[in-house]
């Protein structure tokens, strides 16, 4: 049956054409979005859907050689406020009231700080209200679910021992990175590796359960076991401070080391960093970030005669009983070098040179040794090079050698008794350790071991950098240093009461810019080891610019002697005697 | 109330249908779901359950997700508390705290020099835990001799 088709009218075709055009536009737009610009819109969608957060690793702890905690990271919260949310006064009011109560802060002050931060920077999203809020308070803030308040997890470095060893430990910044000391030197080990969390989020930013996610857990930092003993460190800091006050010194260092292993048992320096009075607005604080025991250079003075004597005896140039005539001075090509206080003692042995600290005798030993051998020994003892101590900012010191421009025989002569040469206190510790430990030059170090996340301890072995002298020379030097402290009819102020020891004092004038020396500024120091036959500790006491102008023997000697007595008793080392021997028995 | 007069509408029709029905059908009791197609019903139930399954699954996933979030929060909380406890242990065992406690119980630093006593008698033997409290020593089992070694031993061969 034929179907009658009504011919289309304008009423039908016009809407059909319009609808068709609309459909074509819609299809074209869909093709543009889903095909042509697929990549762009996919990225935009990912940005909306996918959230990334960095999960910071917990910083490793620092403990002393016996496992006592010196620095540890504690979980805290940084409290931020979402400025746009707090633009609504009905939300800001109650939230700031509750927040102020929890943080013990004035609610109005919190609101003002948020408002002023927004006025300063209109683009700011979150305003920091308080950093390092205790963990329990932060958790309470989370449970309160306050409008616009955003707690962000953080860590705070805690020092249970207070200011003890602060100069050594250093400090961390607000980003938990080390800025000074051990914290800086071992930052890579302590900091660990941050983790990453990538996840699909919902409209309020919470992770969608079982949504697409990638999680790389953070790798916590390793713990550090120091060679420091906290009790010896405290003793060292206290004794150094007392000595500085007593002798009105500008500062000083007291270093205690095990001469056989290079382990530093205590390292006290003053002025030094103190957490309790840290003020970064004070420019002097920046200077305190350097450890003077590592970075301060000074002319060692008479203590350097130990190096000259060791070299001369080891090379066979002299023996302890070799004699020379001391006229009280020595003439080096027309330059007259005097002894301390111009004393002239006539015929003297090499032992007498050390006991009386004769400059002329040190020059005699160096001349017997010869320039080339002298400088070879000085280099072999580690002077002019970094010791390799695991602390930042180590100075190397310098001295002029025959190959340097401007060198003169006077340099050679004065260097033999510790002038015209600059060293660090740690270089002296390293060199004297080699003199008393059998001749091994061992790099001083602060870290004894690291402990990884699995609790496995990795020990740091001592590094022997060379053998500048023989064990026989070392044994001879130990005896000479002992006789420098006590001999028939003589006892030094640096002689310990209960232990047989060996040592040497020094009183070095501080050089001034015109090339001379100022008699009114000096560095008084004393280096000492004990027990005599099996050295367990080496102590260096240095007092910078003591105003009372007492010599190293009088100012630093008793500090070293008392310290040796106390520290060896603490270390359960049996005493050699019950009291000082009478003078006439030696 | 108006009384119904005459036959009930449709009653005659039903009686007529019953008269023409087979004898077996005439004896069967009429069932309210007699005309249901069970295959169709089964299909509908399967489709319904299939539709419900993702809903149930999604609900379970969501609840598990929240439970995981709670567990992660607990882990974070416990880690935070561990760090605080470690710090507190450090504070409680610090030199300053020990000194303070020593002063509280009346201890004072020694004022006089120490007296060293030398004793030329060997110290007491180190204390030992009674054997009954120690784990039984591991019995060492000797390797049993193999049959061919026994055979060699048995045979009168020169060693």
Looking at CA atoms only, how far is residue A463 from chain B in angstroms? Answer: 32
Q: Using an 8 Å CB-CB cutoff, list chain A residues near B114.
A: 569
Q: Using an 8 Å CB-CB cutoff, list chain B residues near A135.
A: 80-81, 83-84
Peptide bond into A531 cis (omega under 30): yes
* Contact flag A210-B69 (C-beta cutoff 8 Å): no
Closest chain B CA to residue A74: B83
CA gap A61, A73 in Å, rounded: 7
Closest chain A CA to residue B118: A574
A125 and A243, same domain (yes or no)? no
CA gap B93, A66 in Å, rounded: 12
Residue A87 lies in a domain: no
Closest chain A CA to residue B92: A160
Question: Average pLDDT for residues B147-154, to the nearest whole number?
Answer: 76
Q: Name the CA dihedral angle for A277, A281, A282, A287, rounded to a multiple of 10 degrees.
A: 90
A312 and A452, same domain (yes or no)? yes
Residue A282 lies in a domain: yes
Per-residue pLDDT, A62: 96
**Which class for A443: exposed (0-12), middle (13-18), buried (19 or more C-beta within 10 A)?**
middle
**CA A232 → CA A64, A66, A143, A437, B110, distances in Å?**
11, 12, 46, 21, 17
Residue A7 lies in a domain: no
Mean pLDDT lowest among A136-140, A285-289, A369-373, B58-62: A285-289
A316 and A458, same domain (yes or no)? yes
ipTM surpasses cut 0.90:
no
A477-510 tens-digit pLDDT: 999 999 999 988 888 999 999 999 999 999 988 8
Question: Within an 8 Å CB–CB cutoff, is residue B110 touching chain A?
Answer: no
Residue A3 lies in a domain: no
* Contact flag A69-B69 (C-beta cutoff 8 Å): no
**Which class for A488: exposed (0-12), middle (13-18), buried (19 or more C-beta within 10 A)?**
exposed
Residue A170 lies in a domain: no
Residue A57 lies in a domain: no
* Contact flag A72-B76 (C-beta cutoff 8 Å): no
- A532 neighbors A502 (Cβ within 8 angstroms): yes
Looking at CA atoms only, how far is residue A160 from chain B in angstroms? Answer: 5
* Domain final residue pick, A154, A170, A200: A154
Q: What percentage of chain A reaches a pLDDT higher than 70?
A: 95
Write the CATH number for A531.
3.40.710.10
A235 and A111, same domain (yes or no)? no
Question: Average pLDDT for residues A29-46, to the nearest whole number?
Answer: 87
Mean pLDDT lowest among A39-48, A144-153, B118-127: B118-127
Question: Average pLDDT for residues B29-42, to the nearest whole number?
Answer: 75
A150 and A250, same domain (yes or no)? no
Closest chain B CA to residue A75: B80
Q: Using an 8 Å CB-CB cutoff, list chain A residues near B115.
A: 578
Question: Average pLDDT for residues A220-239, to the nearest whole number?
Answer: 96
* Contact flag A578-B116 (C-beta cutoff 8 Å): yes
* Domain final residue pick, A154, A169, A193: A154
Domain range for residue A104? 71-82+93-154
Looking at CA atoms only, how far is residue B122 from chain A in angstroms? Answer: 15
A343 and A234, same domain (yes or no)? yes
A137 and A258, same domain (yes or no)? no
Residue A42 lies in a domain: no
Total tally of structural domains belonging to chain A: 2
A334 and A446, same domain (yes or no)? yes
Q: Taking a contact as any Cβ pair under 8 Å apart, which residues of chain B between 29 and 68 contact chain A?
A: 61-62, 64-66, 68
Mean pLDDT lowest among A298-312, A422-436, B96-110: B96-110
What is chain A's mean pLDDT, rounded?
90
CA gap A338, A538 in Å, rounded: 30
| Tokens describing residue A567 | 């520290």
Q: Using an 8 Å CB-CB cutoff, list chain A residues near B89.
A: 69
A419 and A529, same domain (yes or no)? yes
How are beta strands A486-487 and A464-466 bridged, if at all?
unpaired
How are beta strands A517-530 and A502-511 bridged, if at all?
antiparallel
- A389 neighbors A426 (Cβ within 8 angstroms): yes
Residue A159 lies in a domain: no
* Nearest of A541, A537, A539 to residue A568 by alpha carbon: A537
Question: Within an 8 Å CB–CB cutoff, is residue A115 touching chain B?
Answer: no
Q: Using an 8 Å CB-CB cutoff, list chain A residues near B69.
A: 207, 209
Write the CATH number for A127.
3.90.1310.10
A316 and A406, same domain (yes or no)? yes
Matching residue, tokens 């340099």: A411
DSSP A522: E
CB pairs under 8 A between A and B: 69
């Amino acid at each position: 049956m034929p179907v009658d088709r009504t011919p289309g009218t304008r009423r039908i075709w016009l809407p059909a054409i319009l609808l068709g055009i609309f459909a074509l536009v819609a299809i074209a737009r869909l093709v543009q979005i889903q095909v042509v610009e697929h990549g762009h819109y996919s990225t935009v969608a990912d940005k909306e859907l996918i959230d990334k957060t960095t999960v910071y690793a917990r910083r490793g702890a620092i403990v002393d050689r016996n496992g006592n905690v010196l620095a540890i990271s504690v979980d805290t919260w940084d409290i931020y406020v979402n400025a746009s949310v707090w633009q609504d006064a009905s939300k800001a009011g109650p939230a700031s009231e509750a927040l102020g109560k929890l943080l013990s802060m004035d609610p109005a002050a919190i609101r003002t700080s948020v408002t002023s931060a927004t006025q300063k920077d209109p683009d700011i999203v979150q305003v920091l209200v308080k950093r390092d809020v205790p963990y329990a308070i932060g958790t309470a803030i989370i449970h309160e679910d306050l409008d616009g308040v955003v707690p962000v997890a953080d860590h705070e470095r805690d020092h249970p021992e207070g200011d003890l060893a602060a100069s050594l430990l250093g400090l961390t910044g607000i980003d938990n990175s080390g800025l000074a000391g051990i914290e800086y030197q071992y930052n890579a080990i302590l900091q660990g590796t941050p983790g990453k969390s990538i996840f699909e989020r919902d409209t309020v930013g919470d992770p969608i359960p079982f949504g697409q996610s990638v999680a790389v857990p953070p790798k916590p930092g390793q713990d550090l076991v120091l060679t420091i003993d906290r009790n010896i460190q405290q003793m060292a800091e206290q004794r150094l401070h007392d000595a500085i006050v007593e002798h009105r010194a500008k500062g000083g260092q007291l270093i205690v080391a095990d001469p056989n292993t290079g382990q530093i048992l205590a390292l006290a320096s003053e002025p030094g960093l103190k957490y309790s009075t840290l003020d970064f607005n004070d420019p002097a604080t920046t200077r305190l970030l350097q450890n003077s025991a590592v970075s301060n250079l000074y002319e060692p003075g008479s203590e350097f005669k130990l190096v000259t004597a060791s070299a001369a005896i080891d090379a066979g140039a002299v023996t302890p009983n070799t004699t020379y005539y001391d006229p009280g001075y020595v003439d080096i090509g027309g330059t007259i070098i005097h002894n301390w206080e111009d004393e002239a003692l006539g015929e003297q042995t090499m032992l007498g040179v050390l006991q009386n600290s004769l400059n002329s005798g040190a020059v005699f030993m160096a001349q017997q040794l010869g320039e080339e051998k002298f400088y070879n020994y000085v280099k072999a003892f580690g002077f002019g090079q970094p010791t390799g101590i695991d602390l930042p900012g180590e100075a190397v010191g310098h001295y002029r050698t025959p190959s340097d421009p401007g060198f003169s025989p006077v340099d050679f002569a004065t260097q033999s008794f510790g002038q015209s040469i600059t060293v660090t206190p740690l270089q002296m510790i390293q060199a004297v350790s080699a003199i008393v430990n059998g001749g091994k030059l061992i790099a001083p170090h602060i870290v004894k071991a690291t402990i990884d996340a699995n609790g496995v301890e990795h020990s740091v072995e001592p590094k022997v950098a060379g053998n500048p002298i023989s064990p026989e020379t070392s044994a001879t030097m130990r005896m000479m240093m002992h006789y420098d402290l006590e001999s028939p009819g003589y006892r030094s102020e640096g002689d310990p009461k209960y232990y047989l020891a060996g040592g040497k004092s020094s009183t070095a004038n501080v050089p001034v810019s015109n090339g001379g020396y100022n008699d009114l500024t000096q560095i008084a120091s004393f280096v000492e080891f004990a027990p005599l036959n099996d050295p367990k500790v080496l102590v260096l006491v240095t007092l910078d610019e003591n105003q009372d102008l007492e010599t190293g023997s009088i100012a630093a000697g008793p500090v070293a002697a008392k310290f040796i007595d106390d520290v060896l008793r603490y270390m359960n080392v049996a005493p050699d005697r019950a009291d000082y021997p009478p003078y006439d028995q030696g | 109330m108006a009384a119904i007069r005459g036959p009930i509408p449709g009653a005659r029709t039903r009686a007529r249908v019953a008269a023409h029905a087979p004898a077996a059908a005439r004896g069967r009791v009429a069932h309210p779901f007699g005309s249901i197609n069970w295959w169709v019903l089964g299909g509908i139930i399967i489709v319904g359950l299939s539709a419900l399954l993702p809903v149930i699954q999604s609900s379970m996933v969501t609840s598990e997700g929240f439970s995981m979030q709670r567990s992660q929060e607990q882990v974070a909380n416990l880690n935070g508390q561990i760090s605080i406890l470690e710090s507190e242990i450090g504070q409680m065992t610090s030199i300053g705290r020990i000194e303070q406690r020593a002063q509280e119980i009346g201890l004072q630093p020694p004022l006089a020099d120490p007296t060293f006593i030398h004793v030329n008698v060997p110290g007491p033997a180190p204390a030992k835990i009674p054997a009954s409290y120690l784990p039984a020593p591991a019995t060492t089992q000797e390797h049993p001799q193999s049959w061919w070694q026994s055979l060699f031993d048995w045979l009168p061969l020169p060693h």
